[in-house]
Chains A and B, each alone.
Chain A
Amino acid sequence: MKALFAAGGALAAALCIGAATTPAQAQGKTITLCWAAWDPANALVELSKDFTAKTGIGMKFEFVPWTNYADRFLNELNSRGSLCDLIIGDSQWIGGAAENGQYVKLNDFFKKEGISMDDYMPATVVGYSQWPKNTPNYWALPAMGDAVGWTYRRDWFARPDVQKDFKAKYGRDLAVPKTLDELRDIAQFFQGREIDGKKVYGASIYTERGSEGITMGVSNYLYDYGFKYQDPNKPYAMDGFVNSAGAVKGLEAYKELYKCCTPPGASNSYMSEGLDAFKSGQVALQMNFFAFFPGLYKDPNVGGDKIGFFSNPAATTQATQLGGQGISVVSYSKNQGEALQYIKWFAGGDVQKKWWALGGYSCAKSVLNDPGFPDSAPFAKEFLKSMGMVVDFWAEPSYAQLLQAEQKRVHDYVVADKGTAQEALDGLVKDWKAIFKEEGKKF
C-alpha cells in the first residue's frame, strides 16, 4: 500500500513538473547562459525560473569555476562557438569582444525596448557596457555589480581583552579602519595573536600569480595612493602616472602588508583562498569581492554577528578595484532573439529587485537608490559606497597581455622580493608601452 502511495505521489509530481515545463517545451526553445560557477550564479538560476515561466523559453546554464572561466569562455568566443547564447563576461573582455565582433551591439535594441543606461549606476555602465569607454556604445547590460571590499571578525574586535590590548598599543579604539595605515596596524595587531587558544593572523589579501589575483589586490592600494593608468588628457601616456611617487608608495604599502600580516603560505592566494582563510577562523581581515559577502554572512561559523564589512579604506585618496560583469548576447548565437528577450526581461525593475534579494548585485539605480537599500543587507551600505569609487583595469583588446605584465612585475616585487617598487613600476610602464606599440597605439 505504501509503495502504491509512493508510486502515485511520484506520478503526480512528474505530472506537476511536466505541467510546469510545458510552456518551454511548447515553444521548443532553450537558451544557454554562460558564467562563472559561484554563489551569484545559483541565485541567477533561481531568478531565471521566472523568465521561463513568463516566456516559455527554457534556460540552460554553463557555469565554469573561476580558475577556468576566462580560458574556457574566451576560447569559446575566439573559436566562434555557439554554445553560449548569453554570456556574463568579465569587464576587461568588453574591448576585445566588441572589436572582434563577438558581442552583439545593443544600442538599437536598448532604444527599441526603452532600456536606458541612465537607469544604471554610471560606474557599472562604463565598466561593464561601454566600448570605447565613456562613449555611448553599449555591448552589455550591467548585470552583476561588484567591487573589492573587506570583511572583519566583528566578534574578535568586540572582545574586551582585545580592545584593551589594542588601545594600549596604538592609543585608539579598535574599530573599522578608515585608512590603509589603520588597516595595517590592525592586521599587525592580530598577526600571531592567540584567540581562544588558536594562533590567528592579520589579513588575507590577493597574491595569486597565475591569472589576475595580485593585480586585483594591489590595485586597491595603488589607486588609493594616486596611481592612474594614463594621463587623463593624453591617452596612453603613462610616465608619471603608473610610476608616480604615490603609486610607488602604494606598492610599498601593499608589500608591507603582505610581509607583516598575512598567514604563512599566502603567496598565491586569490578569492577562494581568502574565503578559506576567513571561514576557518585564521584571519581577522579579508580582502575579497562583495559578491561573496552574502554567502559569508550566512556562514554558520563566521557569519551573522561575527562578521562585519567595510569598503576599501583611504590613503591619500579613496578608490577600489571594480569587479563584476555585464550580460551580453553572443554574436555567434543562433538564438539571438530569445537571448535579447532575456536581457529585456532581466532589465525589468521587479526582476532587478528580486535579483538583489536572491544574492545577486543589481546595478540598477531603482534598486541601489532606494532609500531602504543601505539597510537591506549588512554589506549593502558599503557596497553602495564602493560602487561610487570603483576604478577598472584596462579594458583594451590587449588587456590580457597588459594584465600578465602587471602580474609579473608586481609579484616579482611583492612576493619574490625582486628589486624596488620604483623599478617594478618603471618596468611596468616599459612593458605596457611595448604592448601598446605592438597594437599600433600612438602616445
Chain B
Amino acid sequence: MNDLSASSRITYGAVPLQPGLARRVRGLSDKALAWLFITPTIVLLLAINIFPLVWTIYLSFTNYRANRSNAPVKWLGIDWYQTILTDPDIWAAMQVTAHFVFWTVVIETVLGFGLAFLIDKKFRGHGMWTTIILLPMMLSPAVVGNFWTFLYQPQIGLFNYMVAFLTGRSASSFQMLGDVTLSPWAIVIVDAWMWTPYVMLICLAGLRSIPDYIYEAAEVDRASKWRQFWSITLPMALPFIMLAVLFRGIENFKMFDMVNLLTGGGPGSTTEVASITLKRAAFESWRTGYSSAFAIILFVTVFGLANIYVKALNRVKSR
C-alpha cells in the first residue's frame, strides 16, 4: 500500500521543489541569487586557476623538485629568477620563440586577410573552397606534425619533391628539418599552413560586418577600389585583424607540440622554443622550482605584452 502511494507521487519532467526550499529560494534577494549561481564558478576558478598560479609563484622561490618530494624544501628567494634571466641559453630560446612568433603572425595575418578578402567575394564553388581552406585547422597538431614530417622527408617527401621540381635541385640535396637555416622556416611553414584559416575566419567576420551602404556611398563618390579598400575595408576590419594577431601571438608564444614533433628542438638548439626548454626543465629534469620561475617569467611576458596590445586594440576600436 505504501509502495503504491509512493509511486503515485512520481512526477514527470521537471522535479517540483520541496515546499520549504521553494519558499527559501523565492525569498532570496537578487544579489543572493547571483552569488548562488556564481559561487560554483568562482570555486572552480580558484581551484584550477588561481591556486595553481599562487602555488607556482611560491614554488618558484624554492628548490623543490617533484621527484624528490621527501627532500627538505629550501627557500631560495629570487635565485631562480636571477639564474634564468642571466642564462644565455634561456635568452637564445626566447630569441627563437620571438622569431617564430613574429614570422608566423606576419605570414598568417597577410595570407589570412588575403584569403578572407577573396572568400568574401561570391564566386562559383565558394563554399567548397572555404571548406577546403578550413581543413588544416581542424586537424590535431599531433597529426599535422607527423604528416609534415613525412612531407619534409628528403627522399620521399612531397614538399622536397615540389621544391626540387620548381628549382631544378635534387630533392635529397636539402633537409628542411635537419638544416640549421631551414628548420626554423620549416616550422613556420607548417604553423602558417595550419592556422592561416583561423585568421581568415576572424578577418572574414570583420569584412562581413562592414555595412554595404558604406561601399554604396563610396561608389556614389566615385572612390576607386583601392581607395575603398584603404579607407573603408582595412580600417573597419582592423580591430578583427588585431584580434587575430593577439590570439595567434599568444598561442604561438606557447607553441610546443608542433616543434616537439617536427624537430624536438633541433638541429642542435636551433628550434628550441621557450616551451620546449620549460618542458625539459619541468618534466624531464624535474627542476620544479626552477621551471616554476621560468613559467612565471613567460606568463608575465605574455600577460604584459598582451595587455599593452589590448590597450592599442581598444584605441583602434574606439576610433
Neighbouring A residues of B180 by C-beta, 8 Å: 416-418
**Closest approach, in angstroms, between the C-beta of A75 and any C-beta of chain B?**
7
Given A210-B260, A267-B178, A412-B284 contact (CB < 8 Å) = no
Given A263-B155, A404-B280, A78-B67 contact (CB < 8 Å) = yes
Is B264 touching A415 in the complex (CB atoms < 8 A)? no
Neighbouring B residues of A74 by C-beta, 8 Å: 67, 286
CB of B314 closer than 8 Å to a CB of A = no
Neighbouring B residues of A401 by C-beta, 8 Å: 285, 287
Is B154 touching A264 in the complex (CB atoms < 8 A)? yes
Q: In the complex, A71→B179 CA distance in Å?
A: 28
Q: In the complex, A245→B66 CA distance in Å?
A: 38
CB of A389 closer than 8 Å to a CB of B = no
The interface stretch among B45-53, B123-131, B187-195, B265-273 is: B265-273
Given A78-B286, A265-B155, A397-B68, A412-B268 contact (CB < 8 Å) = yes
Given A74-B67, A78-B67, A100-B68, A416-B283 contact (CB < 8 Å) = no
Contact residues, B96-117 vs A (CB, 8 A): none
Main secondary structure of the interface of A (DSSP, over half): loop
**Closest approach, in angstroms, between the C-beta of B130 and any C-beta of chain A?**
35
Least CB separation from B265: chain A residue: A209
Is B177 touching A411 in the complex (CB atoms < 8 A)? no
Interface size for chain B: under 10, 10 to 19, 20 to 34, or 35 or more residues?
A: 20 to 34
Main secondary structure of the interface of B (DSSP, over half): loop
**Closest approach, in angstroms, between the C-beta of A415 and any C-beta of chain B?**
4
CB of A344 closer than 8 Å to a CB of B = no
Is B283 touching A100 in the complex (CB atoms < 8 A)? no
Interface size for chain A: under 10, 10 to 19, 20 to 34, or 35 or more residues?
A: 35 or more
Q: Mark A372-415, 1 if CB is under 8 A from B, else 0.
A: 00000000000000000000000001101100100010011101
**Closest approach, in angstroms, between the C-beta of A228 and any C-beta of chain B?**
24
User: What are 22 inter-chain pairs, A to B, with CB distance below 8 A?
Assistant: A75-B283, A100-B68, A208-B264, A209-B265, A209-B266, A210-B260, A264-B175, A265-B152, A265-B155, A265-B157, A267-B175, A267-B266, A267-B267, A282-B155, A397-B68, A400-B284, A415-B266, A415-B268, A416-B180, A416-B266, A416-B270, A418-B268
Please name 9 further chain A to chain B contacts, defined as beta carbons within 8 Å, in addition to the given A74-B286, A264-B172, A267-B178, sorted by A numbering: A70-B284, A78-B66, A209-B266, A264-B175, A268-B264, A398-B285, A404-B284, A416-B270, A418-B268
A-contacting residues of B (Cβ < 8 Å)? 66-70, 152-155, 157, 172-173, 175, 177-180, 260, 263-270, 280, 283-287
